[in-house]
Amino acid sequence: MFVRLLESFLSNVTTTLYKGVIKISDKKNKVVLIGMPGSGKTTLGKLLSKRLNYNFLDMDEYIEEIANKSIKKIFDDDGEKVFRNLETKACKDIVDRKKLVISSGGGVIKKSINIEILKKDCIVVFVDRPIENIINQLSLDEINSRPLLKGKKDTIYSLYEKRYELYKSACDIQVKNDKSLSNTINEIVNLLGKRLEG
């Protein structure tokens, strides 16, 4: 019963706050997860999509599909600016879809247009994982595979400091990912439910 009410809430009327302005939308049937690389967005997104009976989309995988090359190769061949433009295109492409949980890239908040697009049609959830947990979780191979980390753990601290307030200001819901996956999913669902009650 609760999940049906939640789905109705997400697909009908939602109250959001962005730059101090409350907006009402009848198209918010999508949830997008934002947060640092290694914060658990993809894992949580897949679990949340099953819980809500929504489809799941990994934004980085979508970008690789439309660019026909890996994220690393996009950065190596074309540079970050091209990647960020592809990221904005991905945001525009996916907002027309229905019943979707989206795992975004860690830097999606770097361009304000991305947040404007996503907040218009999505509920934005900041997956806030402690930086030490992120570093302990990421393997050396994972760090090396992420272009902006450049194989250095110190870079993660620097990105965290630069982006944390951007994540907070962009989100509708902030959830700490420092518990079990099931507890974190339950907390996200409960916070979505509180928006329904409010």
43 carries a ligand binding annotation: yes
Q: Collapse the DSSP code of 22 into the 3-class scheme (helix H, G, I; strand E, B; otherwise coil) and give the result.
A: strand
Q: How far apart are CA 130 and CA 103, in angstroms?
A: 18
- Kind and range of the H or E run holding 149: none
72 carries a ligand binding annotation: no
4 carries a ligand binding annotation: no
Q: CA quadruple 77, 145, 159, 181: dihedral positive or negative?
A: positive
How far from each other are the two terminal CA atoms of the chain, in whole angstroms? 18
Which residues contact residue 128 at a Cβ distance below 8 angstroms, ignoring those fewer than 6 apart?
Answer: 35, 39, 167, 174, 175, 176, 177
184 carries a ligand binding annotation: no
CB atoms < 10 A from the CB of 40, how many? 21
What's the angle, vertex CA 105, arms to CA 101 and CA 52, rounded to 5?
Answer: 10
Q: State phi, psi for 55 to the nearest 5 degrees.
A: -80, 160
179 carries a ligand binding annotation: no
Q: How far apart are CA 63 and CA 71, in angstroms?
A: 8
41 carries a ligand binding annotation: yes
84 carries a ligand binding annotation: yes
| Residue ranges of the binding site for ATP | 38-43, 146
Known binding positions for substrate:
60, 84, 106, 163
What residues are designated binding site? Answer: 38-43, 60, 84, 106, 146, 163
Q: Annotated binding residues for Mg(2+), as ranges?
A: 42
